[in-house]
Structures are given as C-alpha cells and as structure tokens.
Amino acid sequence: MSTVAAFKAGGHNAFVVGWTGEVGKEVVSSLAATDAYKKVYLIGRRNAELPAGPGYEKMEQRILDFDSLLTDPPSPATIAAFADADVGFCCLGTTRGKSGVDGFIKVDYEYVLGAARAAKAGGLQAFHVVTSVGSNAASRMLYPKTKGRAEEGLKELSLARLSIYRPGVLLCNRAEKRLLDQAGRFFLAPVAAVAPTAMTVPTKVVGRAMVVNSVLGGVEGGTETLENAAIHAMAKKDL
C-alpha cells in the first residue's frame, strides 16, 4: 500500500485555524480537492460563507472566542473546538499596522501556542504552521522575533509531528489592501519571474504544500522546517 493510500485508509480529520486569511483559504481549497481527510473543521470567530463545490461538504465551521486560547491550561470548551482532529493547520497572522505591537504578539505568538495546546489536549498529533522566512527568536526586530518565539514554543509542546513553513514574500490578491505589501510585490515581480523560488511564493503554493506534506509525511516524524524553496518543491508533488 502506498503512503498516500495508507494515509487515506487511516480515517484522518483535520482542523484549520486562521482559515479566512490568504494562506488559510488556500489550505481549505487544497483540502477540498483531496479525499485524504474524512472531515475538516474550520475554526473561526464567526461563520463565514464557503464556496460551493465538490469537497466542501466535509467542511464544518466551529466558532471560538480566540481570547480563550490565552488560558493555560485550556478550558474544556476551548479543547472541544479542536476535538476529533488529529491533524491541524495553523495560518493565524496579523500585522503590526493593523493590530499594534501587543495585538500582533497576541495573534502571531499567543494564539498560535494556545491553539496547539488546546488541539493537543483534544487529540492532535500533527501540527502544520505558517511562520516566515527569517524567523528568529533572538532577533531584535518584532516580526522575526515573534515568529521565532512561536516556533520555539511549539517545539516545547513535544508534538508527534511539527511542520513549520517559512515562506518568503507571499504573492496573492489580498482582499485587504496593504500599501507596503503591494509595493514589495511590485519590486519583487522581476525576481519572481527569473527565480520564482528564491524570495517569493504564491499563497496557493503554500496552501497546497501544507496539505500535500501532511499526507505524505503522516502524523508522526518529529519536527521539520520547510524554507521557501522546499515549499515550492512540496507543492509540485502528487497526492
């Protein structure tokens, strides 16, 4: 039996937290396109409209007060939001400009760790999380430091499998327009055309890479980190 067939026979369920963001939406799209998962739980602050089409019938939305993730140990109600899923995808993220310094740290560090803790208590085995290129807990800069702290905190949870994805500049048509992002993508467009895996990656590629890797790697295997080029390569593999 192949690796993919064995995974499909395992009856796995997944959750996606941060699923309405640009990467999260692509994770959901890739999950809808595969029969590797029996059920997918979409965890958010409120219900949101889902696309109509094949694969979305296995999606179930769950509402969560995200500030409940700040409580350690997590409450039974918080754990219940993540229950019955042995694979988790975390695409939480905001910006300093939108949420301020404290808000950025809360979402990109505290919520991420809280989600993993609650999910582990609910039966999680494999956790797939998006951070960023250059993540470094020892950095003096807010963005890479916060992402790096999240990575280190997740490692301390001793999950059966932890897959960290460090994409470069994300390419997408954001619903929320960010001037700096738009400027950055404009100047990086020539680089992306000549060397597409060097500094940039479409959100669609990140989402597919996370789902493909979750199936090919199973629910055990320790900790791994996929940098930008590895994300591109993973997305090209077949399920």
| Residues identified as active-site | 143, 147
* DSSP per position, 65-78: -GGGGGSSSPPHHH
203 contacts 146 by C-beta, under 8 angstroms:
no
Counting every residue written for the chain, the total comes to: 239
b (16+ CB within 10 A) / e for 217-239? bbbeeeeeebebebbbebbeeeb
Alpha carbon 32 to chain centroid, angstroms: 15
Q: Which tokens hold the place of 145?
A: 């430091």
